[in-house]
């Protein structure tokens, strides 16, 4: 069985790729289609926007976190259960961690053998746009560059110039021209775009409405791949419970991780630190990343929630705290010379900086050997840093792109807390949970 599927890529970041992909997902849903949305790379924020636009879970396709077989299994499982799959690329098409294009959109497209649609920003360019498209085609070996969506068209004359040069010098399909539109934007802050939990449903509907006026959805739906349905697995038996912090302050979670927990037999429940809710009676507590710094005043006052987190951890129950989740386990955070106290599980504090402190893939070595016997891959993106640390670090971090090393993170009882975000790959699950999915 063949089903529509394509990857939206770009020649560079800030081309309009994200807002256009969100719009396409929303527009396809408005046509009555069930959409399986994906995001290349480790990004949480774009993925959450895609999920809200599709009214379904969105998944990250990351070739550092997952091997080729795991990537294919994830992609085809979700595609075969939906009418169409839409993948948003990451940065420029070939931008990865090395000159071999590792962890790039190109690598994902090659592994999945999926058609690619290029979003090209035409601002400040006309006839030269054909050279950009031709160059990407020539470098993209064994990948089908099926067509283009041209963004930031200034006028009908501008559109005609670009259309002629693309038809004369390339063989790609033109799926649409998007007129320069200040409304087609997402507000942003220090970690990137604002989160999906801050947007209402109408926001995505409006983007979809704008995109479908200028993009030929039927042409896109003609881009198909073979749906390789695997045999159905037996349903998991829930014999454990996982409690996950989820609200405006903590919402950076991979959908893949939630699926993995369910496959491991965890019944998943959620609680809100911002609403001062206690941790549910659970075997595993998951404190994800997000924007606790924006709600530090509220969090510091919510003593019932903070105390329940302390009680869970001190009882020796399994806990994973990533980035913002780790921060809430510290004594507190300094923001603009004001200090907000948190749970105090770890004898350290954090401080919010004006510039980002870390961004990129890391290799994590557990120096205690308690959770990981071998190094595992993770990702960091944060503006805060640790200060007044009065207990030993537990993790040795190596930046994959630079090989720089430093110490980070803490382990106490059955709790692992660090700035690193993890994806629950089969390797990670075997090490951290001692099981298999």
The distance from CA 129 to its chain's CA centroid, rounded to whole angstroms, is 29
DSSP assignment letter at 375? -
Q: Are strands 405-408 and 284-287 parallel, antiparallel or unpaired?
A: unpaired
Active-site hit among 80, 243, 280, 323:
323
- Return the HEC string of the chain: CEEEEEEEEECCCCCCHHHHHHHHHHHHHHCCCCEEEEEECCCCHHHHHHHHHHCCCCEEECCCCCCHHHHHHHHHHHHHCCCEEEEECCCCCCCCCCCCCCCCHHHHHHHHCCCEEEEEECCCCCCCHHHHHHHHHHHCCCCCEEEEEEEEECCHHHHHHHHHHHHHHCCCEEEEEEECCCCCCCCEECCEECCHHHCCHHHHHHHHHHHHHHECHHHHHCCEEECCCCCCCCCCCCCEEEEEECCCCEEECCHHHHHHHHHCCEEEEEECCCCCCCCCCCCEEEECEECHHHHHHHHHHCHHHHHHHHHHHHCCCEEEEECHHHHCCCCEEEECCEEEECCCCCCCEEEECCCCCEEEEEEEEECCCCCCCCCEEEEEEECEEEECCCCCCCEEEEECCCCCEEEECEEECCEEEECCECCCCHHHHHHHCCCCC
Residue 323 is among the residues annotated as catalytic for this protein? yes
List active site positions.
323
């Amino acid at each position: 069985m063949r089903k529509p599927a394509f990857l939206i890529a770009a020649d560079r970041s800030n081309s309009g790729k994200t807002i256009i992909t969100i719009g396409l997902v929303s527009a396809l849903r408005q046509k009555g289609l069930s959409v399986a949305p994906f995001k290349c790379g480790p990004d949480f924020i774009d993925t959450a926007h895609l999920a809200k636009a599709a009214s379904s879970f969105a998944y990250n396709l990351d070739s550092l976190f997952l091997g080729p077989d795991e990537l294919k299994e994830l992609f085809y499982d979700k595609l075969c259960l939906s009418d169409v799959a839409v993948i948003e690329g990451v940065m420029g098409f070939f931008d990865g961690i090395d000159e071999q294009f590792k962890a790039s959109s190109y690598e994902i497209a090659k592994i999945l053998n999926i058609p690619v649609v290029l979003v090209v920003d035409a601002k400040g360019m006309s006839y030269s746009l054909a050279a950009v498209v031709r160059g990407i085609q020539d470098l993209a070996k064994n990948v089908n560059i099926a067509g283009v969506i041209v963004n930031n068209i200034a006028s009908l004359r501008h559109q005609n110039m670009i259309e002629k040069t693309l038809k004369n010098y390339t063989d790609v399909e033109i799926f649409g021209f998007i007129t320069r539109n200040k409304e087609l934007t997402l507000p942003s802050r220090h970690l990137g775009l604002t989160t999906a939990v801050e947007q209402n449903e109408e926001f995505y509907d409006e983007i979809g409405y704008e995109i479908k006026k200028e993009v030929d959805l039927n042409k896109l739906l003609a881009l198909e791949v073979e749906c390789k349905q695997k045999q159905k697995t037996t349903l998991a038996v829930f014999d454990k419970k996982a409690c996950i912090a989820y609200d405006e302050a903590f919402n950076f979670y991979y959908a893949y991780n939630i699926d993995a927990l369910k496959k491991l037999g965890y019944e998943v429940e959620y609680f809100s630190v911002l609403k001062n809710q206690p941790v549910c009676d659970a075997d595993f507590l998951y404190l994800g990343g997000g924007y606790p710094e924006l709600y530090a005043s509220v969090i510091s006052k919510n003593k019932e929630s903070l105390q329940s987190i302390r009680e869970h951890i001190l009882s020796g129950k399994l806990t994973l705290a990533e980035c913002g989740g780790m921060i809430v386990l510290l004594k507190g955070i300094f923001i603009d010379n004001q200090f907000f106290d948190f749970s105090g599980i770890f004898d350290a504090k954090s401080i919010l900086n004006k510039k980002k402190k870390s961004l990129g893939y890391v290799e994590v070595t557990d120096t205690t050997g308690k959770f990981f016997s071998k190094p595992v891959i993770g990702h960091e993106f944060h503006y805060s840093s640790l200060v007044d640390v009065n207990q030993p670090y537990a993790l040795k971090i190596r930046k994959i792109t630079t090989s720089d090393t430093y110490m980070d993170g803490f382990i106490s009882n059955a709790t692992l807390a660090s700035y690193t975000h993890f994806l629950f790959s089969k390797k990670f699950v075997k090490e951290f949970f001692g099981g298999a999915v």
